[in-house]
Structure 1
Amino acid sequence: MLLLADLAPVLLGGLLAWTGAAKLFGRTTQQQAADTALMRILHDSEWVVRTFRALGAVELVVALGLVVLPLSVVPAVASVALGVGFLAYLGWAKVNAPDSSCGCTARKEAPITWRAFVRASLVVVGGVVAVFASTAWWSAVAAAPLGSALVVVAAVALVGTMSTDLDHLWLLPLRRLRLRLLGHPLSSTAVASGPVPYDASLELLELSQAWAASAPVVRSSLLEHWDADGWRILRFAGAWEGPSGTRPVSVLFAMDANASIDTTTNPLIRVTVVDDQTNELLPDAIDTTSRPQLPVTPA
């Protein structure tokens, strides 16, 4: 535990240096910024980019303080404050913008998951542990090189598993290995036993012509899904330009719950558009006249 406390400043400094550099020097486009939860607060993608850059600079300064001044409580306390701020932001974003990305490393455009909360918690815990450092990290490494190496490897592995940016280095190869050993989960035997996973239905939908026809109306990722009488219902939020102006709608796709890309390339998909305010069906919301070959049945 003493060795961990002595190494905490450099380990935490490395983590903050990585995330800070990604925010400050990463190529964050305005479209990526618009997809983050911070957009709900600032309402301007340019200001979102500037905010992430400024936060990245702060993280780099704190990281430098942790590495250069490992026995000072100032950078350790600053990192605790950063971690608490990250947790507060993630909690707010999870409630108010659950489908948005957090922009934590300014790279991945994915919804906030439990891994983002764990990573922010590691910043808080690391800062608290760093307060109790009694020996500079370089002296601790010189005194116990093998133990220090084990601690560093374990810390890097922990942070790596909590970051989606590194999934291509370990998670994807692990999934490929699982497929080789256990077989594809959507094989013919798996499909015959019952409904396929929801991700498989979503994948099939997004490759279909029905999805292409509905794309001008859909405005969200998948909001909810359920099965009924062999059908799988997928609901998305949308906006329709009607005679009286833009109307918020729900776009419902109904498809075979057993279908996947392994069983069909041309699924029958029923599309229903419902006005969110009046619950009125909008049969003209999806334009299929220019695509007569589309297997779409507007309701």
Structure 2
Amino acid sequence: MASLITNLAPLALGVLLIATGVGKAFGRQVARQAAGTVLVRVLNDGRRATLVLRATGVAELVIAAGLLAAPTTVVPAVAGTALGVGFVGYLGYARVTAPESSCGCTARDNGPVSWRSFVRAGLVVAGGAFAIAARSAWWTQADRHPVTAVVFLAVTAALLVAVSRDLDHLWLTPLRKARIKVFGHPLTAAAADVPVAASVQLLERSLAWTAASPVVRSGLIDHWEADGWRFLQYSGVHETPQGGARPVTVLFSLDPHDTIDTAPSPAVRVTLIDDISDELVDVDLTEGFVPTLPMA
């Protein structure tokens, strides 16, 4: 099995280098991609950075051609290993000096350097090391052990796809969409998961708040949940029909599940409690109130 892996390594590494090299050598967006890499900082010139990126792509294609055409020759395998080591060093430098810079690993990958970038570079190093030990052409091994060869190449391809961010649209994005369909959106929270700030934001967009705002004289003082409601406590001043003013506690209660996204027009109860007598204040806050704003 070990000999099979070493003999098939030139094929796997060659295909990988072709996939990454073609875009960098001949792609139309290489200049834009190079502008986001740390190469611009090192070379202090966007055109030079583009040339280096294209040259790297050409080198990958040349090494890949050598691995596929002469898999038992040591030179392409050593060159592939050296290229992988160079990738690891480049990624490490970029991660330390400019972590926000683009990886530049492939023509379509414009994301920053991440652990996936290091894993892919490590696979190039490992592939080159195995290819050095190849003693038989990959097509001979594939002919002798077709099933094992297919399994090995399939596993290798799956691993490369998993660590390639530019291929996420082939598997990761559909997988995430399927998870949302089956288990629901992760941001659709339960009552305990909806923060109080979200309830306050929802309240302050409601007609209940607009109608009660002439009474409210403070920000949020306290909050709690009971009997399926979330209570938000404020202090206020209620003007009596006789012309006096009495301090009151203003309680708003609403569904703790609700947010602006799930309930733009929430049901809100408003209660006024006289701070001196601790009795409910019987007042209709909507009397004379003409709504000019939507509920949310």
| TM-score normalised by length of structure 1 | 0.64
Once residues 44 and 6 of structure 1 are traced to their aligned partners in structure 2, the CA distance between those partners, rounded to angstroms, is 42
1:177 aligns with 178
Unaligned runs of 5+ in 1: 197-258, 266-299
Structure 1 runs, 4 residues or longer, greater than 6 Å off: none
Once residues 56 and 260 of structure 2 are traced to their aligned partners in structure 1, the CA distance between those partners, rounded to angstroms, is 43
Evaluate the alpha carbon distance shift between residue 124 and residue 67 of structure 1 in structure 2; reply closer, same or farther with a 3 A threshold: same
Once residues 98 and 114 of structure 2 are traced to their aligned partners in structure 1, the CA distance between those partners, rounded to angstroms, is 12
Could you give the per-residue CA deviations for residues 60-96 of structure 1, whole angstroms, max 9, x where no partner exists?
Answer: 0000000001001110000010000000000000000
The Cα shift of 1:31 comes to 3.5
2:154 aligns with 153
2:30 touches 2:54 (CA, 8 Å); kept in 1? no
Q: Show the 5 A alignment for 1:14-29.
A: 14-29=15-30
Once residues 176 and 195 of structure 2 are traced to their aligned partners in structure 1, the CA distance between those partners, rounded to angstroms, is 21
Matched, 1:37 2:38: yes
Matched, 1:55 2:49: no
For 2:107, what is the secondary structure of its paired residue?
coil
2:10 touches 2:127 (CA, 8 Å); kept in 1? yes
1:48 counterpart letter in structure 2? A
For 1:109, what is the secondary structure of its paired residue?
coil
2:261 aligns with 262
Q: Show the 5 A alignment for 1:115-134.
A: 115-134=116-135
Bigger radius of gyration, 1 or 2? 2
1:193 aligns with 193
Once residues 103 and 10 of structure 1 are traced to their aligned partners in structure 2, the CA distance between those partners, rounded to angstroms, is 23
2:65 aligns with 64
1:164 counterpart letter in structure 2? R
Evaluate the alpha carbon distance shift between residue 84 and residue 261 of structure 1 in structure 2; reply closer, same or farther with a 3 A threshold: farther
2:114 aligns with 113
Evaluate the alpha carbon distance shift between residue 195 and residue 113 of structure 1 in structure 2; reply closer, same or farther with a 3 A threshold: farther
Evaluate the alpha carbon distance shift between residue 262 and residue 29 of structure 1 in structure 2; reply closer, same or farther with a 3 A threshold: farther
Once residues 189 and 64 of structure 2 are traced to their aligned partners in structure 1, the CA distance between those partners, rounded to angstroms, is 52
1:10 aligns with 11
The Cα shift of 1:4 comes to 0.8
Evaluate the alpha carbon distance shift between residue 35 and residue 45 of structure 1 in structure 2; reply closer, same or farther with a 3 A threshold: same
| TM-score normalised by length of structure 2 | 0.64
Once residues 195 and 98 of structure 2 are traced to their aligned partners in structure 1, the CA distance between those partners, rounded to angstroms, is 30
The Cα shift of 1:34 comes to 1.6
The Cα shift of 1:263 comes to 6.2
Unaligned runs of 5+ in 2: 197-257, 265-296
Could you give the per-residue CA deviations for residues 276-298 of structure 1, whole angstroms, max 9, x where no partner exists?
Answer: xxxxxxxxxxxxxxxxxxxxxxx
**Percentage of identical aligned residues:** 50
Could you give the per-residue CA deviations for residues 4-34 of structure 1, whole angstroms, max 9, x where no partner exists?
Answer: 1110001100001111111001122544322
1:26 counterpart letter in structure 2? G
Could you give the per-residue CA deviations for residues 29-52 of structure 1, whole angstroms, max 9, x where no partner exists?
Answer: 544322112111112222111111
